[in-house]
């Protein structure tokens, strides 16, 4: 099993902005997403591609996971983006594919990735909501589902506030699809950079829904996401207690235990071990 990795905060940075890329190397986010899609104007996309490939080759991102969001294969730039990533001497940890709606879309991106590069896909079309299980079941290099809430709102023509009531079914089903297939699931962005209170509330909602972390659009949002999606000390202590209980010689063959008055099953042990992996990784950072 792949060790759990913290993905509390995934920051989009425009690939066409060298100063932003350099700044990303020193930020406290868990994931840097070099964005060649939404944040780059059409006439600037070839230059942004070159900058992204150069940034990956240069490295310097430390413990941060490095992801490149490419343009869609249905655009004039998508094929060249993927070819440039594959041709690079150094490659990112993952490629993020936009507006994926069908298993065929997943296969098209997966087939263009070199070995060792994971595929993350955006859940941001109405069609994708009716294919979530099929998308998440694609296998291969697929490793994460990322909610694209702005595009969902646009397609649905709905109106949302911090509570995102029109999107709650979509959010919950996306998490369920990811969990069913062992994928990371990241929440969508909060657009109002100046409203950190609203961001805090929405991060809390994301934790309640079960997301692993939140995608972000500004460095000022990192601290709120890191706080919200980090394990609480009480959670870590309980996970240690559960792990120790199952590890004791008299309990190793048991499926259910009573721990401090609570009934605990093997599924709770799996949850505890994952949480402890995340906590250990954060301590080492």
Cβ–Cβ < 8 Å for 81, 71: yes
The reply to whether 69 sits in an annotated binding site is: yes
Ramachandran class of 259: left when φ > 0, alpha when ψ lies in -120 to 50, beta otherwise: beta
* Beta-bridge mates of residue 12: 33
CB atoms closer than 10 angstroms to residue 112: 20
DSSP code at position 4: P
Residue 146 CA: distances (Å) to CA of 21, 50, 246, 264, 272: 21, 24, 34, 31, 24
The reply to whether 124 sits in an annotated binding site is: yes
* Beta-bridge mates of residue 94: 67, 118
Q: Which residues contact 118 (CB under 8 A, 6 or more apart)?
A: 93, 94, 95, 141, 142, 143, 144
Cβ–Cβ < 8 Å for 96, 68: yes
The reply to whether 164 sits in an annotated binding site is: no
Based on DSSP, count helices (H) and strands (E) in the chain, helices before strands: 12, 10
Known binding positions for substrate: 69, 124
Residues contributing to the annotated binding site for Mg(2+) = 124, 151
Task: Summarize the annotated binding site as residue ranges.
Answer: 69, 124, 151
């Amino acid at each position: 099993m792949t060790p759990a990795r913290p993905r509390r905060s995934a920051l989009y940075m425009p690939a066409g902005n060298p100063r932003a890329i350099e700044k990303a190397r020193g930020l406290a986010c868990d994931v840097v997403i070099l964005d060649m899609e939404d944040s780059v104007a059409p006439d600037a996309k070839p230059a942004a591609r070159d900058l992204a490939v150069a940034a990956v080759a240069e490295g310097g991102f430390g413990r941060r996971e490095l992801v490149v969001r490419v343009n869609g294969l249905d655009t004039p730039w998508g094929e060249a983006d993927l070819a440039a990533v594959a041709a690079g001497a150094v490659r990112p940890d993952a490629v993020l594919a936009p507006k994926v709606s069908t298993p065929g879309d997943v296969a098209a991106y997966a087939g263009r990735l070199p070995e060792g590069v994971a595929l993350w896909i955006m859940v941001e079309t109405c069609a994708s909501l009716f294919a979530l299980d099929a998308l998440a079941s694609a296998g291969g290099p697929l490793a994460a589902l990322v909610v694209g809430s702005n595009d969902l709102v646009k397609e649905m023509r709905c109106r949302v506030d911090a509570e995102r009531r029109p999107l709650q079914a979509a959010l919950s089903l996306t998490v369920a699809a990811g969990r069913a297939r062992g994928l990371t699931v990241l929440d969508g962005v909060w657009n109002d950079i100046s409203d950190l209170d609203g961001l805090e509330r929405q991060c809390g909602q994301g934790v309640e829904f079960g997301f692993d972390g939140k995608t972000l659009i500004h460095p000022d949002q990192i601290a709120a996401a890191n706080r919200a999606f980090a394990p609480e000390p009480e959670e870590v202590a309980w996970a240690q207690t559960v792990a120790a209980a199952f590890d004791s010689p008299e309990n190793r063959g048991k499926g259910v235990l009573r721990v401090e008055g609570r009934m605990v099953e093997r599924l709770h042990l799996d949850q505890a071990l994952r949480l402890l992996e995340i906590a250990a990784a954060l301590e080492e950072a």
